[in-house]
Amino acid sequence: MSSDPTFWIEARASGMLAFALLTLSVIAGLVLKSRPFGTSLKPATVTDTHRFLALLCLGATGIHGIALVLDSTVHIGITGLLVPGFVPYRPLWVGVGVVAAELLVLVYASFSQRKRIGAKNWRRLHWATYGIFAAMVVHGVMSGTDTQQPWALGMYLGAIGAVVMATVWRALVPPAKPKRTPRAAEAKVA
């Protein structure tokens, strides 16, 4: 009797989706700060998009973990989702993914705690996003079963390239100054 591959397929698809959403969230965060499109994108809109993409990423990550627990191909318990190294399948690389997911929860939770922890500490915590992204790349490449497929490798390389390019843009190009409306200029003078 063969096992049903539904949960295994769900685990693979949700893992790839979580990675894609993380990539988009990181890029949205970089766009927010560097404003490569000038003032055509409103900061509040980009911030909401950034947070929403991060929330979707967390949801997809949760589905990824639940599907792995429900799948019978590799026996993963709830402990394996929470404690790095408790999974028999490639424990180091799966553990890297567990740590990255836990850090992602922490960074996401910091959105609502920004005033409490202070802007400076919040910004420092957000620097962890680069580490989370790198850890998710390593997790996917080293523990993913689709890594050898050209489309998966292309996705990883494309994501890395996009994040690197957005980071370089942020580092080298000064942010666009918001346009001042005549009313805003008058209000400043008054």
Give the tens place of pLDDT for each residue, 110-156: 988 989 999 899 989 999 999 999 999 999 999 998 999 999 999 99
pTM listed for this prediction: 0.86
Answer yes or no: is 1 within a domain.
no
Reading the block at residue 131, the tokens are: 């580490």
User: Structurally, how many domains does the chain consist of?
Assistant: 1
Give the tens place of pLDDT for each residue, 10-36: 999 999 999 999 999 999 988 887 666
Reading the block at residue 51, the tokens are: 């947070």
Answer yes or no: is 74 within a domain.
yes
Residue 82 and residue 66 in contact, taking contact as beta carbons nearer than 8 Å: no
The residue range of the domain holding 90 is 6-189
């409103």: which residue's tokens?
A: 42
Sequence-ordered strand ranges (E) for 10-55 = none
Distance from C-alpha of 131 to C-alpha of 103, rounded to nearest angstrom: 9
